[in-house]
């Protein structure tokens, strides 16, 4: 690789059920302003931010080319803006490519989404299915993930009680994460008695409807010293696509995540994630996804049920932020994980800080039942 | 622009474009273009190590269609990135593929742009682009008559209307040579006076034949690093540089803000950093995203850094014809063929085909060493790409 790239600024809004008081532009400005204030960077042609990579989705935004509405607040007037319409970890992947290519020295990533705008998230994710075979039977993310959850629990032996305990843990951790608003603690009984959404996924086992925005600035190595003394290097990236029809996929295995992780780990020189990584942020859209993706990331070689029983998530510092289960917009799941790892590696994670954190892994998913997965390795 | 690795274009595929590709669904349509691009590159999908994909979701109402399209685009088990920037999407995908290969993260990248506009409501979709509070009541989709008014005001009714219609007739002559083009009318110059009078208007002097079509179609391009390009392709085209220029959402409705167009702005920057001082002389072919013949006519002046009526003269004197001084859109351009997510990629693909000498009946009859391609989208956004027959001198960052 000809050059290296680091995250030199990070900002996020609070994450709430309904930011009725703010438009998406307002949320974006809330993350752009502190980043330019704290770094002193601008959008000038010679030395400024040369490219902005946004991440959002037209259907969630209910606007065609919704990035068209963002040009002003993200500083892209007479500048370059490109939108990654996938999980925000993919925007980090693309921003890294722009810097490594030599084309850009400074790239800003801004992700935003207001899930509260849709009457139901299922109305949006229903449309991911093809109009001929899978849409007519009424599939959406939740239904597909219910099928996956049942298959995974049967295969792994992970119990509903264990999943409920993960929800309890997520909400407990979230109390120490000031960006998570209005997410009360719950107990196992409440989780197991919450309404069934898509068997075996219950209401409290899935991430709540969420609004918010997240921003990062990624800089080429030679620009880093002038901006920050706490750079977070992007040392490995990988992503991989699985097939589409649920019947063609191994819903229990982690073929796509294994490939993505392998690529990211080898690029970062990680041969044993258990000993070489200080914390993991996993996109657990539902409780069952935490152990399933932990398997894919190589965190529980002895099997997930035993790993959970032995307190594996705490031992390996998995999702100390509360994870995606604590509520960020789905499309920002991976970007939120990158932002959390960045805070940890900068020593800015407050009461949830991992002592002496040097290396972190952030994980993002796109599509139904984790069809596509992204892994980012970060180093302080 | 600095670049750490050179990037060659070694595979190009496109579908037959039409108003109704009812014989194929979306992944099947994409597969046609991908198959052709792989065959052109002499590759199988196993040789591709990353895919970039894009279109406009609200046009077909498929959320994250890259999930479904895995069955036609070959991305199973591979990295994929999905980028969407409206009309510029296809050009953004070309820039992204260039970035991904130049970065060293990937060696062979397959870029895919597509649209199946018959499956949605395009003008409804575009109207939905405007701010729900400030602009949506005023939106007419992509049908913008303001440029016709401005050109008429500057050059007088007769000259302006004739030049715009002549531009349209030249584009149709080119489209008649391109078997993939969607609209092929067989217009002739003798028809211009009657067309100026009789073609039904859409908005003011923007008439129905001036406006681009709604098409179904896909385009695929394969980008590779320098080593692979040289080893596997005798006649590659090379990415020299690209620039993306957006502008704010609100149109300058009252004309009270002095500002450059994104077209001129992009051209000045791109030419400035690549030693192009006289674009009309130095560039051998220009594939321009011309959403209507009024915009095609007007933007020539901006892109080619012309002044006064030089652009009108180029049209009037047949200089943009396929055998003219600077052929513009030998493919027939966007007024002939417009599958939106593919449209801007088709500009780069057609420019690369001219460099590679593989454009068949619409090959420019002179050597093509340097080609320009543009993308248009959003609220007058521009992406401008420069391609060459020889690899550019590397300039490390």
- pLDDT, tens digit (0-9, with 9 covering 90-100), for B72-86: 999 999 999 999 999
- ipTM attached to this prediction: 0.97
Contact of B344 with chain A, judged by CB distance below 8 Å, is answered with no
Higher-pLDDT residue of B126 and A343 is A343
Q: Shortest Cα distance from B195 to chain A (angstroms)?
A: 34
Q: Measured at the alpha carbon of residue B341, what is the angle toward residues A84 and B129, in degrees to the nearest 5?
A: 70
- As a whole number of angstroms, the distance between CA B218 and CA B93 comes to 13
- pLDDT, tens digit (0-9, with 9 covering 90-100), for A248-275: 999 999 999 999 999 999 999 999 999 9
- As a whole number of angstroms, the distance between CA A22 and CA A14 comes to 12
On the CB side of A131, CA atoms within 13 Å amount to 10
Task: Name every residue whose Cβ is closer than 8 Å to that of residue A64 and which is 6 or more positions away in sequence.
Answer: A58, B56, B58, B59, B86, B125, B126, B128, B129
Say yes or no to pLDDT of B253 above 80: no
On the CB side of A46, CA atoms within 13 Å amount to 0
Query: Does residue A139 contact residue A126 with C-beta atoms inside 8 Å?
Result: yes
Q: Shortest CA distance to A55 belongs to which of A338, A275, A345?
A: A338
Minimum mean pLDDT range among A122-126, B39-43, B259-263: B259-263
The whole-angstrom distance between residue A38's C-alpha and the CA centroid of its chain comes to 24
Tokens representing A233 are 């290097």
Residue A248 has a CB neighbour count (10 Å cut-off) of 12
- As a whole number of angstroms, the distance between CA A157 and CA A159 comes to 6
CB-CB under 8 Å, B125 with A64: yes
Give residue B122's pLDDT.
Answer: 86
Tokens representing B216 are 């179904």
Say yes or no to pLDDT of A1 above 60: no
At A310, which helix (H) or strand (E)? none
Query: Does residue A275 contact residue A316 with C-beta atoms inside 8 Å?
Result: no
Residue B179 has a CB neighbour count (10 Å cut-off) of 11
Q: Convert A152-196 into a string of H (helix), E (strand) and C (coil).
A: HHHHHCCCHHHHHHHHHHHHHHHCCCCCECCCCCCCHHHHHHCCE
CB-CB under 8 Å, A102 with B2: yes
Helix axes A289-296, A255-268, angle to 10 degrees: 50
CB-CB under 8 Å, A57 with B57: yes
Residues 33-52 of chain A with CB under 8 A from chain B are 51
Q: Shortest Cα distance from A127 to chain B (angstroms)?
A: 5
φ, ψ of residue B341 to 5 degrees: the values are -65, -20
CB-CB under 8 Å, B79 with A240: yes
Chain A residues with CB inside 8 Å of B142's CB? Answer: none
Say yes or no to pLDDT of A99 above 80: yes
For chain A, how many residues are written? 380
Residue B59: closest CA among chain A residues belongs to which residue?
A: A64
- As a whole number of angstroms, the distance between CA A219 and CA A222 comes to 8
Contact of A78 with chain B, judged by CB distance below 8 Å, is answered with yes
* Mean pLDDT over each residue of chain B, to the nearest integer: 95
Say yes or no to pLDDT of B209 above 80: yes
Higher-pLDDT residue of B199 and A77 is B199
At A89, which helix (H) or strand (E)? helix A88-100
Task: Provide the edge-to-edge strand list for the sheet that holds A106-114.
Answer: A80-84, A51-55, A106-114, A211-220, A5-12, A232-241, A372-379, A359-366, A279-281
- pLDDT, tens digit (0-9, with 9 covering 90-100), for A210-247: 999 999 999 999 999 999 999 999 999 999 999 999 99
Helix axes A141-156, A289-296, angle to 10 degrees: 70
CB-CB under 8 Å, B100 with A101: yes
Contact of A84 with chain B, judged by CB distance below 8 Å, is answered with yes
| φ/ψ bin of B354: left (φ > 0), alpha (ψ from -120 to 50), beta (otherwise) | alpha
Q: Measured at the alpha carbon of residue A270, what is the angle toward residues A266 and A271, in degrees to the nearest 5?
A: 90
Query: Does residue B111 contact residue B12 with C-beta atoms inside 8 Å?
Result: no
Q: Shortest Cα distance from A160 to chain B (angstroms)?
A: 29
Task: Name every residue whose Cβ is closer than 8 Å to that of residue B379 and which is 6 or more positions away in sequence.
Answer: A68, A71, B247, B248, B249, B250, B251
Q: Shortest CA distance to A219 belongs to which of A9, A2, A1?
A: A9
Nearest beta carbon to residue A79 from set B62, B246, B377: B246
Query: Does residue A234 contact residue A361 with C-beta atoms inside 8 Å?
Result: no
Say yes or no to pLDDT of B397 above 80: no
Block residue for tokens 């917009």: A329
What percentage of chain B has pLDDT greater than the value 90? 87
- As a whole number of angstroms, the distance between CA A320 and CA A362 comes to 12
Interior/surface letters B29-56, b for 16+ CB within 10 angstroms, e for the rest? bbbbbbbbbbebbebebebbbbbbbbbb
């Amino acid at each position: 690789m000809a050059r290296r790239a680091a995250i030199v600024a990070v900002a996020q809004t609070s994450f709430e059920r309904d930011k009725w008081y703010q438009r998406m532009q307002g949320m974006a400005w809330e993350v752009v302003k502190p980043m330019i204030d704290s770094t002193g960077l601008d959008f000038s042609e010679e030395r400024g931010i040369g490219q902005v990579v946004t991440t959002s989705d037209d259907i969630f935004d209910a606007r065609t080319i919704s990035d068209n509405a963002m040009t002003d607040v993200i500083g892209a007037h007479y500048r370059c803006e490109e939108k990654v319409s996938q999980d925000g970890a993919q925007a980090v992947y693309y921003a890294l490519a722009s810097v490594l290519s030599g084309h850009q020295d400074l790239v800003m990533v801004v992700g935003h989404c207001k899930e509260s705008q849709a009457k139901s998230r299922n109305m949006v994710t229903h449309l991911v299915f093809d109009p001929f075979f899978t849409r007519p039977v009424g599939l959406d993310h939740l239904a597909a993930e219910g099928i996956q959850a049942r298959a995974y629990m049967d295969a792994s032996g992970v119990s509903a009680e264990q999943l409920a305990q993960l929800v309890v843990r997520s909400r407990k951790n979230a109390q120490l994460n000031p960006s998570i608003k209005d997410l009360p603690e719950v107990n196992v009984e409440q989780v197991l008695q919450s309404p069934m959404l898509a068997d075996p996924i219950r209401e409290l086992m899935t991430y709540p409807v969420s609004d918010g925005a997240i921003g990062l600035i990624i800089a080429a190595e030679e620009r880093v010293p002038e901006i920050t003394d706490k750079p977070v290097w992007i040392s490995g990236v990988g992503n991989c696509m699985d097939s589409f029809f649920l019947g063609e996929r191994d819903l229990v295995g982690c073929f796509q995540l294994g490939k993505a992780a392998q690529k990211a780990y080898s690029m970062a020189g990680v041969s044993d994630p258990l000993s070489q990584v200080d914390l993991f942020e996993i996109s657990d859209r539902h409780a069952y996804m935490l152990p399933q993706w932990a398997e894919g990331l190589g965190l529980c070689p002895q099997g997930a049920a035993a790993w959970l029983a032995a307190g594996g998530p705490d031992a390996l510092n998995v999702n100390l932020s509360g994870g995606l289960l604590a509520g960020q917009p789905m499309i920002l799941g991976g970007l939120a994980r990158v932002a959390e790892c960045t805070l940890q590696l900068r020593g800015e994670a407050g009461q949830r800080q991992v002592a002496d954190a040097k290396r972190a892994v952030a994980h993002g998913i796109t599509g139904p039942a984790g069809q596509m997965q992204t892994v980012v390795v970060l180093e302080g | 622009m600095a670049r750490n690795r050179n990037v060659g274009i070694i595979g190009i595929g496109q579908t037959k474009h039409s108003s109704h590709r009812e014989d194929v669904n979306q992944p099947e349509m994409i597969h046609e273009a991908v198959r052709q691009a792989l065959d052109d590159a002499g590759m199988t999908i196993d040789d591709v190590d990353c895919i970039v994909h894009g279109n406009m979701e609200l046009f077909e109402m498929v959320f994250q269609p890259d999930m479904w399209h895995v069955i036609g685009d070959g991305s199973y088990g591979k990295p994929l990135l999905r980028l969407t920037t409206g009309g510029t999407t296809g050009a953004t995908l070309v820039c992204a593929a260039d970035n991904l290969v130049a970065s060293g993260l990937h060696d062979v990248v397959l870029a895919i742009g597509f649209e199946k506009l018959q499956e949605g409501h395009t003008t409804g979709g575009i109207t939905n682009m405007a701010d729900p509070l400030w602009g949506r009541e005023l939106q007419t989709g992509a049908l913008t008559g303001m440029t016709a008014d401005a050109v008429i005001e500057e050059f007088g009714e007769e000259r302006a209307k004739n030049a715009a219609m002549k531009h349209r007739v030249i584009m149709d002559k080119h489209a008649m040579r391109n078997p993939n083009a969607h609209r092929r009318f067989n217009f002739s110059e003798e028809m211009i006076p009657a067309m100026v009078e009789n073609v039904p208007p859409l908005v003011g002097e923007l008439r129905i034949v001036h406006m681009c079509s709604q098409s179904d179609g896909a385009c695929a391009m394969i980008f590779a690093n320098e080593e692979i390009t040289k080893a596997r392709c005798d006649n590659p085209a090379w990415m020299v540089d690209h620039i993306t220029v957006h502008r704010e959402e609100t149109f300058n409705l009252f004309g009270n803000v002095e500002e450059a167009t994104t077209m001129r702005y992009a051209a000045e920057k791109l030419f400035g950093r690549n030693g192009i001082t006289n674009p009309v002389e130095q560039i051998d072919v220009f594939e321009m995203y011309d959403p209507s013949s009024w915009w095609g006519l007007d933007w020539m002046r901006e892109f080619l850094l012309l002044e006064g009526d030089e652009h009108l003269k180029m049209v009037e004197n047949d200089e943009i014809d396929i055998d003219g001084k600077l052929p513009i859109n030998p493919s027939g351009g966007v007024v002939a063929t417009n599958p939106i997510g593919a449209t801007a990629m088709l500009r780069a693909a057609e420019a690369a085909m001219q460099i590679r000498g593989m454009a068949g009946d619409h090959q420019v009859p002179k050597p093509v060493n340097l080609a320009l391609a543009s993308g248009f989208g959003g609220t007058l956004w521009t992406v401008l790409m420069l391609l060459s027959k020889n690899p550019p001198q590397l300039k490390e960052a």
